Structure 1
Amino acid sequence: MSHALVILCGGKSTRIGTDKALLPFGDCCLIEYLVRKFQPDFPKIYLSVQQKNDYAHLNLPVTTIGDIYGNAGPMSGIFSALSMISEERAFFISVDTPFVEPALGLYLLSQPQEHPIWAIARANDQLETLSAVYSKSCIPQVGKAMLFHQYSFNRLHEKCNAGYISEDELAKICPVPLNEQFFNINTRTHYYHALRLLSERGELFDDDSNQELPAAGNAAFSIPVVSLVGDSIIDKKTFCNQVLEALKKDGIKAAIFDSEKDFTNITNVDLILTCDLEDEDCFKIELLSSELNETPLHPVSGLVAIASDFGYKCEEVPCFDSRKPRSILGFLKTLIRDYSH
């Protein structure tokens, strides 16, 4: 059986300020590192990218698949890839998780096809929804989710009757701890930590030991983008406007843009607010409503905060009262300050 791998590379890398796929990693760049690592076990490798010619200059032995729908996050990449690959299913990983082991993907692909999705259930009940196997039979459900702006991978897994492998079972197959395998490079600090891990593995050559993160290629990367997400019925725009007015009263330069907007040339504000942008590189705050949904649709690990109208509590991320927009100002000011540094 020919095993297929899809590397999701369509994120804008806003938080790190440069294209993560091209970060120096060992004696090559991050995306080439992953291709080299998986090629012995995965003869067919696809890159899910924003534009089909992205990374063509690297001359990698891969097939690129451009996003059919832009600005729709990793779900768009999965939808586009499943629609275009010749294989019935594939193992998906994100380009910013360089320590995922091929053995993990091979084991998930060895599971019976009675489940169209095979993923990993962590010991803390967290689901690893991106490093997973997806089958073509998922296409209708993924397309429907995108049509209704329902970007919750947990909900998608429920709809598709996903199968799960436990963390304990995987430990017998692959000795590398899952905390290390699923380490994400989202910020400059994360990148330097990843280089240290690479060095500890003996894969970082002396000539590369003083690698520096490339400077941001565009001033837009210095501006944090906050996306209000949640059930498509929730009135996120009203809350967004209320937060904007509160920020302005405190002297913060903020602006609201449609999620389809190209933020590349925006340089004269401190913060960009938008709604329903599912890009992996923006800061997502989920809105909850006592009348619609009282639990997050998104994995909490992918959120920076939650705002509700009923006092929702969560230990993992800060929670705020959506009826009092000013309650979130301190958090946003801290985000702006930390982001600029």
Structure 2
Amino acid sequence: MPTTFNIPCVILCGGRSSRMGEDKSLLPFDHSNSLTQYQYDRLKPYFKELYISSKINKFDFLEDESSLILDEGEVFSPLVALDTIIKKFENQKIFIITVDTPLVSIDTINKIINSSNDYDITVAQTERIHNLCGVFSSSIRNSITKMLSDDIHKVGYLLKQNNTNVINLPENGEFINLNDKDEYNKALEIISLSNN
């Protein structure tokens, strides 16, 4: 049996995908019909609760809509998504990961979660900080509310305003972000090699 984490996991799928030119959350990946389904199926055995954050329900594989957290408001911002998520999970911690980082290993997720006990936010860092791969506590809700009222949407600013733990991890390619077609094709190549 795989390790099951006691905190909920939310996959962020509400971005504009402007550099990709189409909705990357719906692109096919490995043997899955979409990147979202790939992330969902891969993470489901490890989390008691797994959710998808999005602007709209665009996912044909979800049998139960209770797994969906729809962003409040029209603004495309990860901070708006975090605000909506934090309101759902009062007095607990949540593991957040973006749909476009499908190669982040369960071992890395385990390290991040295990390092999060005494912090409001715990995120990974390789050559740069990965602001949206980590554990976020509902205690940061007031910070997010204040930032949104001040029209500040940078997650890096949120990290600076709270008790944040940044974990240094080796640069081994697992944090590749599928922002454009080249990165998407590279990730497909990596996953294909790992399956052989």
Q: TM-score range by the shorter chain?
A: 0.7 to 0.9
Contact 2:7–2:49 (8 Å) recurs in 1: yes
Which residue is equivalent to 2:9?
A: 5
Which residue is equivalent to 1:119?
A: 123
Which residue is equivalent to 1:40?
A: 45
Q: Give the TM-score taking structure 1 as reference length.
A: 0.52
Q: Distance in 1 between matches of 2:86 and 2:132?
A: 14
Any idea what SS the aligned residue of 1:180 has?
A: coil
Which residue is equivalent to 1:206?
A: none
Q: Distance in 2 between matches of 1:101 and 1:112?
A: 17
Contact 1:121–1:164 (8 Å) recurs in 2: yes
Any idea what SS the aligned residue of 1:79 has?
A: helix
Which residue is equivalent to 1:145?
A: 147
Question: What is the aligned residue count?
Answer: 190
Higher relative contact order (CA 8 A, sep 6+): 2
Residue correspondence of structure 1 range 1-341 to structure 2 within 5 A: 2-28=6-32, 29-51=34-56, 53-55=57-59, 57-59=60-62, 63-85=67-89, 88-122=92-126, 124=127, 126-167=128-169, 178-202=171-195
Q: Give the TM-score taking structure 2 as reference length.
A: 0.87
Any idea what SS the aligned residue of 1:164 has?
A: strand
Q: Distance in 2 between matches of 1:145 and 1:94?
A: 21
Q: Distance in 2 between matches of 1:164 and 1:111?
A: 9
Contact 1:4–1:44 (8 Å) recurs in 2: yes
Residue 86 (structure 1) shift: 6.1
**Once the two structures are superposed, what CA deviation does each residue of 1:201-238 show, in whole Å capped at 9, x if it has no partner?**
117xxxxxxxxxxxxxxxxxxxxxxxxxxxxxxxxxxx
Unmatched segments (≥5 aa) in structure 1: 168-176, 204-341
Contact 2:120–2:136 (8 Å) recurs in 1: yes
Residue 96 (structure 1) shift: 0.8
Q: Distance in 1 between matches of 2:172 and 2:141?
A: 30
Q: Distance in 2 between matches of 1:179 and 1:69?
A: 37
Any idea what SS the aligned residue of 1:81 has?
A: helix
Q: Distance in 1 between matches of 2:194 and 2:159?
A: 34
Contact 1:24–1:30 (8 Å) recurs in 2: yes
Q: Distance in 1 between matches of 2:100 and 2:132?
A: 11
Distance 1:106 1:86, change over 3 A: farther
Residue 7 (structure 1) shift: 0.4
Contact 2:78–2:155 (8 Å) recurs in 1: no
Contact 1:70–1:76 (8 Å) recurs in 2: no
Which residue is equivalent to 1:338?
A: none
Any idea what SS the aligned residue of 2:195 has?
A: coil
Contact 1:91–1:132 (8 Å) recurs in 2: yes
